């Protein structure tokens, strides 16, 4: 897969205004989710995995009992691309379901 172009700082900030639960941390966008328990975090991760597999774009994941943090960045490009903000938007829509 060819490298996706990196977004500029202003483009990232513009996207984050539409994704208010996400924050920028260096060359990643990050969101922490809180669930009732560990099982809830794992169940949601399974749902995220389905969307990530469909897009062939996968988040970095950290789970601490009932909290799950997802970090999105395009490894091949070395930073934040449209692929990341698109996946962030898709993950946000999963939370609405």
- Annotated domain spans of the chain: 9-96
- Record the tokens describing residue 90, joined without a space: 């898709």
Spatial distance between the Cα atoms of 61 and 83, rounded to a whole number of angstroms: 17
Could you tell me the pTM of the whole model?
Answer: 0.94
List pLDDT tens digits, range 40-81: 999 999 999 999 999 999 999 999 999 999 999 999 999 999
pLDDT at 1 over 70: no
Spatial distance between the Cα atoms of 9 and 21, rounded to a whole number of angstroms: 18
> What class has domain 9-96?
alpha beta
């Amino acid at each position: 897969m060819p490298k996706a172009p990196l977004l500029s700082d202003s483009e990232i900030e513009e996207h984050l205004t539409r994704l208010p639960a996400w924050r920028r941390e260096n060359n990643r966008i990050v969101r922490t989710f809180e669930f009732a328990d560990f099982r809830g975090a794992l169940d949601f991760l399974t749902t995220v995995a389905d969307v990530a597999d469909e897009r062939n774009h996968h988040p970095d994941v950290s789970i601490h009992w009932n909290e799950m943090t997802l970090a999105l960045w395009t490894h091949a490009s070395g930073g934040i691309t449209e692929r990341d903000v698109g996946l962030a938007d898709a993950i946000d829509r999963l939370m609405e379901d």
